[in-house]
Amino acid sequence: MRVVTKTEVADGVVALSLADPEGRRLPDWAPGSHVDLVLPDGLTRQYSLCGDRWDAHTYRIGVLREADGRGASQFVHDRLRVGDLVGVGAPRNSFPLVPSSSYLFVASGIGITPLLPMIQQADLLGADWRLLYSGRRKASMAFLDELSAYGERVRLHPRDECGPLVLERFLGEPRGGVKVYCCGPVRLLDAIEAACADWPRHALHIERFVAVQAGPPALEGPFEVELTRTGRTVTVTPDVSVLDAVRGAGADVLSSCGQGLCGTCETEVVEGVPDHRDSLLDDVGRAANDCMYVCVSRSCTPRLVLDL
């Protein structure tokens, strides 16, 4: 796709709008979706789509400059120009907006990006919703002009003016029928998980940009993975990922982040119990025992059978 506009939307944040060079229609997407951005120097990173989902010809993403990142954000900020071509993967959604008549949205920093289209949808559908949006200071908080159109539904919380966030004050008492959506740094996600501990199961939906620290693997030694489509069985040793092992056996599995964050390597589980080490599946998804992210997840059982 071609970079159509590049706009500074806050200190350290640029928004890129991207379009097909021939003006063709882009694949549809829904709030919560992200795409792989493949930069001219070969770096690939995932970014949430944060534009108007009804605009069939333009995607928009927001990119925070990360001083200690792996180089992609610096490239976007310093070297990527309007008119440049970049690779953009098909939208994928591991953070879908579940239908509800009432939402509480909580974002911090660049975590506002996946929530913008959710808010637009909730508002269009007439849902009752509120947003708590926190940042280090107002100048670092992106898209404030767009959010100002929603008036009192949006509560801004620049921490240099308002102090630390008290989530419980915003969330109120635990109650049914309300969906809580949160995106931001690990500290915020951990805090909201704690704050929602007494809320009904499945009320809280979060998206992580940084992988959770998984504990030690369930099995210390090797385990076997059988590939149903080829009938081959491979041994996965402790120093090799399931992804690398099955690729070594000829399975064609796509991957992107390699950290259990993006969902690209999702693989169907036919038999066995995966040791889920991703940052995508919630308790229900894990208990279903029907899929795993093979870039990071391993096995609880000596044998796994995968639909590969």
The residues binding ligand FES (CB under 6 A) are: 255-258, 260-265, 278, 293, 295
- Residue 70 Cβ vs ligand FES, minimum distance, rounded to whole Å: 14
From the CB of 261, what's the least distance to ligand FES, in Å? 6
Contact between 5 and 82 (Cβ < 8 Å): yes
Closer to ligand FES by CB, 73 or 256: give it. 256
Report the candidate in 86, 67, 102 with the shortest Cα–Cα distance to residue 3: 86
Q: Name which of 106 and 262 has its Cβ closer to ligand FES.
A: 262
Nearer to ligand FES, 185 or 258 (CB): 258
Residue 111 vs 263, nearer CB to ligand FES: 263
Distance CA 76, CA 245 (A): 33
Q: Which residues pair with 130 in a beta bridge?
A: 104
Q: Could you count the other beta carbons within 10 Å of the beta carbon of residue 241?
A: 18
Evaluate whether 22 touches 89 at the Cβ level (below 8 Å). Answer: no
The helix, strand and coil proportions of the chain, stated in percent and rounded to the nearest 5, come to: 20, 30, 45
> Based on CB atoms, which residue is closest to ligand FES, 167 or 242?
242
What pairing do the DSSP bridges indicate for beta strands 179-183 and 291-293?
unpaired
Distance between CA atoms of 66 and 75, rounded to whole angstroms? 10
| Min dist. Cβ of residue 204 to ligand FES (A) | 21
Instruction: Give the nearest distance from C-beta 43 to ligand FES in angstroms.
Output: 15
The answer to whether the CB of 113 falls within 8 A of the CB of 141 is no
Query: Minimum distance from CB of 259 to ligand FES (Å)?
Result: 6
